[in-house]
Amino acid sequence: MAPHELHVVSLNVWGIKWISTHHTERIREIGRQLARSDPAPNIVGLQECFSSADLQAVQEETRDILPYSKYYHSGVFGGGLAILSKWPIEESSMTGYALNGLPWAFYRGDWYVGKGFSQTRIRIPADEDGDEEVVEVFNTHLHAPYHPPPKDVYWTHRLSQAWQLAKQLRSAVSDSSVSLVLGLGDFNSRPLSMPHKIIERHGRMKDAWLQLHPQSAAEEPEGSSIIVDIDPPRERTSSIEPAADLELRRPGHHIPTVRAAIEDLGMTCDSGYNTWRWSKPVRKQLKKNAVIIPDETPDPRAKRLDYVFYADGAKSSVAKHSPGVQGWTVGSAKVGMTATHPTLNCSLSDHFSVEVTLVRAANNEAQSSRQSHSADGSDTSSHSLPDKSTSPPQGDTPKYLSVSDYSSILSHITRWRSRQQQQRRLRLGHLVAQFFIAIGCLVSVWFSPRNFVSFILMLVSTLGLAAGVLDGIQGGLFVSSELNALTEFEWDVSAVLDRAGAPPAFK
């Protein structure tokens, strides 16, 4: 039966095999908590689920409410994306990002897992009074920053990924058979950052949390502007306050408490409540008993990186013009999965989930639904939809970024291209140098007075030439491929910039 409410969950499960601590136990408990959720989720998007066995473990716990699932294969080790659904999955695809990290940064792993976005079409059967609903679900995990700017060398890659995803989101929104488009995942970007704006404006999407809390974006500056100073170590007292060791120097910005960061700002990552952000000595105490963090503890490190974006599909947009019918709106939103493992006392992941209820009903029914969500306020991190006048309609979202935003993207592309062109020259130069060094070593073997010297020369020749060939392949093949992708990205942005700056009649 086509629902009037849709309950959506997105969670980064931190399921890196052999690296993530208590990996198996946490994944199983995530499934159990999903099964006990009230309301029960209808669609769940998982990130960093790098094993189909992990998805199977979750599905074994949620089979009664989420009988359908899909694990997405990509790259060398898999992109870590998975979907669970109450309704059958009609179609699905996995698209890799054109720019996705660097192969020589093997210690990061982003290039090897083949990050991208999954696209899943879910068809909800019709009820007696209405048509069937088609929901297009996009799930993704963008490249991690690893360092704050200006050391964030992957910023251009993340911009490209957001742009590539936004194009597909916009296409889905225009599909006449689609009622609702969802964009879930760990976007590794702050609210109102450039990737966030690309998804909202270029992708024609709305951030579900900001629909309820538009003021929350003003409380959290873009990640690139945050500077964290670490105080000198000091002796801890019996009151464990992990976040108290950090001070955030943000002129004009209030540092939220751990409770406010979750309830008011929707921060899902690096929360002071999350045990994986605590120091090792504090985490060791969890083996004996749980550690209580006071709700008023300052939490300068918390970030909102996980999102549920949504938009009416073309089918819903047409239906909205019918008397008494409206599109999808946000009924409630909360940060979930904050409870710890019942026996290990650790958080279930290094991220908390974002959980959103979308409502579709006639105007009077929508107001009644919002009131019921407000009355059902047992979960303090749940929020009801304010009056419609405070929730901007989808049409209010600007169609384009500002000209300065497009210019900023193009300048980042130019700088990254220059950097990678230098990388190509250096790596190809290394190949040529190693070729001549190898020849020199082989010639020297003829004049070597001792066998062990000959062995060393042969070893240096072999290993050096192997390293040079590997560097040459990366510089000659990978970097060339990346430069081509950058050229396509640049052309696309330039074309949109031309339209954005054109007179309205030509847009």
Judgement on whether residues 104 and 19 belong to the same structural domain of the protein? yes
**Would the pLDDT of 382 be above 50?**
no
Is the pLDDT assigned to residue 383 strictly greater than 90? no
- Statement to judge: residues 216 and 280 lie in one domain: no
* 380 and 411 assigned to the same domain: no
Last residue in a domain, options 374, 399, 424: 399
* Residue 314, pLDDT score: 82
| CA distance readout (Å), 400 to 207, 283, 492, 502 | 16, 46, 13, 11
Note the pLDDT tens digit of each residue in 158-176. 999 999 999 999 999 999 8
Same domain, yes or no: 318 and 447:
no
Q: How far apart are CA 81 and CA 93, in angstroms?
A: 11
Q: In this model, does residue 373 exceed pLDDT 70?
A: no
Last residue of a domain, one of 357, 384, 399: 399
Lowest mean pLDDT among 154-168, 232-246, 291-305, 452-466: 232-246
Please say if the pLDDT value at position 240 is more than 50. no
Highest averaged pLDDT of the listed ranges 128-142, 194-208, 358-372: 194-208
CATH number at residue 26: 3.60.10.10
Number of domains in the chain: 3
Q: Is residue 173 part of a domain?
A: yes
What's the pLDDT score for residue 405?
94
Average pLDDT over residues 94-120: 93
Q: Phi first, then psi: what are they for 399, rounded to 5°?
A: -75, -30
412 and 331 in a common domain: no
Both 209 and 324 in one domain: the answer is yes
If pLDDT is split at 50, 70 and 90, which confidence band does 157 have?
A: very high
Instruction: Count CA atoms closer than 13 A to 96's CA, side-chain side.
Output: 17
At 220 the pLDDT is 56
In DSSP terms, 181 is beta-bridged to 136, 311
Closest alpha carbon to 117 in 83, 101, 93:
93
Q: How high is the pLDDT of residue 224? A: 37
End of a domain among 269, 303, 337? 303
Report residue 292's pLDDT band, with 50, 70 and 90 as the boundaries: confident
Average pLDDT over residues 27-39: 96
Residue 386 has pLDDT above 80, yes or no: no
The 10s digit of each residue's pLDDT in 414-461 is: 999 999 999 999 999 999 999 999 999 999 999 988 899 999 999 999
Among 88-92, 290-294, 299-303, 468-472, whose mean pLDDT is lowest? 290-294
Q: Which residues are catalytic?
A: 351
Mean pLDDT, the chain, rounded, equals: 84
Q: How far apart are CA 419 and CA 399, in angstroms?
A: 32
pLDDT at position 393, please?
43
For 228-257, the DSSP string reads EEEPPP----SS--GGGGEEE--TT-PPPB
Which 3 state secondary structure label does DSSP give 173? helix
Residue 383 structural domain: 5-220+304-399
For residues 76-101, b (16+ Cβ closer than 10 Å) or e, as one string? eebbbbbbbbbbebeeeebbebbbbb
User: Is 364's pLDDT higher than 60?
Assistant: no
pLDDT of res. 361 = 63
Residue 236 has pLDDT above 70, yes or no: no
User: Residue 97 domain-assigned?
Assistant: yes
- Position 217 scores a pLDDT of 73
Residue 228: inside a domain? no
Q: What pLDDT score was predicted for residue 345?
A: 92
Average pLDDT rounded to a whole number, residues 130-154 = 89
pLDDT, residue 129, reads 60
> What pTM, to 2 d.p., does this model score?
0.85
Q: How distant, in Å, are the alpha carbons of 45, 50, 51, 147, 276 from that of 56? A: 14, 12, 9, 34, 24
87 and 208 assigned to the same domain = yes
* Domain co-membership, 55 together with 174: yes
Q: What is the pLDDT of residue 125?
A: 86
Specify the pLDDT at position 233.
30
Convert the pLDDT of each residue in 454-489 to its tens digit.
999 999 999 999 999 999 999 999 999 999 999 999
Q: Quick: pLDDT tens for 49-83.
A: 999 999 999 999 999 999 999 999 998 888 999 99
186: β partners: 141, 306
Residues 53 and 179 in one domain: yes
pLDDT (mean) for 116-132: 84
Residue 219: pLDDT band with limits 50, 70, 90: low
- Quick check: 322 pLDDT over 90? no
Which pLDDT value is given to residue 242? 39
Report whether pLDDT(192) > 80: yes
Indicate if 14 and 130 belong to the same structural domain: yes
Same domain, 391 and 412: no
Length of the chain, please? 507
pLDDT, mean of residues 337-342: 95
Band the pLDDT of 319: cuts 50, 70, 90: low
Residue 411 within a domain: yes
pLDDT at 291: 82
- Which range (82-96, 294-308, 376-390) has the least confidence? 376-390
DSSP string, 260-317: HHHHTT---BS-TT-GGGS-HHHHHHTTTS--PPPTT-B-TT-B--EEEEEEE-HHHH
The residues facing 238 across adjacent strands are none
- My answer on whether 390 and 501 are in the same domain is no
